[in-house]
A = this chain, B = another copy of it.
Amino acid sequence: MSDTTAHDEPELVQLLTPDGELVTHPDYPLEVDADQARSLYRDLVLVRRVDTEAVALQRQGELGLWASLLGQEAAQIGSGRALRDGDMAFPSYREHGVAWCRGIAPRELLGMFRGVTNGGWDPDEHGFQLYTIVIGSQALHATGYAMGVQRDGALGDDGEAVIAYFGDGATSQGDTNEAFNYAAVNNAPVVFFCQNNQWAISEPLDRQSRVPIYKRASGFGFPGVRVDGNDVLATLAVTRAALQNAREGNGPTLIEAFTYRMGAHTTNDDPTRYRASAELEEWKRKDPILRLRTYLEKQGLADEAFFAGVDEEADRIGEQVRAECRALPDPGPLEIFDEVYAEPNVHIDRQRADFADYLASFEDAGAEGGR
């Protein structure tokens, strides 16, 4: 690699330093009152708890897999809280914090990781599309959806905006870049929100990009901005501004939320094979929850009772998540054939009927005392 990277270390929009000090940024003024700050804190803690429980549930065999958001809570809650009711989010597979902000019950997320559904919530009800696993695909869906918003004339101060979530690795995919270009050419009301958590499974950022990711946008003709993704206030402010810009008809923005994947890629992964523990230690000091807590404490915006209350709520939610996970009903065998097509399909109907007969043959056989 050449030294292009070294030259210009990008400016990071930050409103809250790792030590919990509030700072200002000329482009991103933000007013947060105590209530809002506490409520952000609550969200951060609760989604982390949901996440911790999910990891544990996977270890216990209750989930097939889990993709932890540990370390990325601020990037997700900050951006998720910037969304308005009518906005639409297109997630990847790790956006549990955004899902939380959109009113998706954790139970609904667990279904896919438990293997009882492939998604299943109603995107329109929540303004939150289904998780998308094939990297990059949803960036184009978001762009198309935003083109629909344009065609509906739903722009303006009260208009609607769209946000697409993806990771640093996803910026290498053709689809993501095609989405950047479609959005630029059509001036579509979409915000591209890249959580740069420094890793794509085992591959560090320098295998994905030679320069900071937010720079990609300029090559397509729209603004890019790097925000401290562990700073929930900055993420909120930057995302809100970008969404507002989009809804007012000024086109796309790429937000690079600079953060860190503190856990494994998924519960299948073992990061000790490819990264130094010192790196993790360093990022622990930048923990997004700690940071906001320090701020709340220093400013006297919250007392011990508040923190204890949030922890208790987290305990309750944890318990609920465990119970609801175990209670998720298994699908019946014939559901294989459901919703493959919207309209009646002779071929699928026939396969369903044949399989029902086949299954019934065992019951008959069982009744008769064995095959």
Contact = CB atoms under 8 A, between A and B. Distances in A.
Given A174-B175, A177-B174, A181-B209, A222 B187 contact: no
A342 interface: no
A181 B4 CA distance: 14
Contact of A178 (B173, B217, B219, B250): B173
Number of chain copies forming the complex = 2
Interface in A191-249: 206-211, 215-222
B209 A221 contact: yes
A88 interface: no
- A-B pairs, 10 with minimum CB distance: A174-B174, A219-B219, A211-B221, A210-B221, A177-B177, A184-B210, A216-B219, A4-B221, A174-B178, A172-B181
A218 B214 CA distance: 11
Interface in A167-190: 171-175, 177-178, 181, 184-185, 187
Contacts of A177: 174, 177-178, 181
A39 interface: no
Chain A contact residues, majority secondary structure: helix
Contact of A219 (B185, B187, B206, B218): B218
A5 interface: yes
B218 A206 contact: no
A318 interface: no
A163 to B, nearest CB: 19
A210 B181 CA distance: 8
Nearest to A219: B219
A139 to B, nearest CB: 11
A23 interface: no
Interface string A316-341: 00000000000000000000000000
A260 B241 CA distance: 40
A277 interface: no
Contacts of A1: 185, 187
Interface in A1-43: 1-2, 4-5
A219 B215 contact: yes
Contacts of A215: 218-219, 221
Contacts of A206: 185
A174 B139 CA distance: 13
A251 interface: yes
A240 to B, nearest CB: 20
Contact of A220 (B174, B187, B216, B222): B216
Contact of A222 (B207, B210, B221): B210
Given A171-B181, A177-B178, A219-B220, 14 more contacts: A2-B187, A2-B250, A4-B221, A5-B221, A173-B174, A174-B174, A174-B177, A177-B181, A181-B209, A184-B209, A184-B210, A215-B219, A217-B219, A219-B219
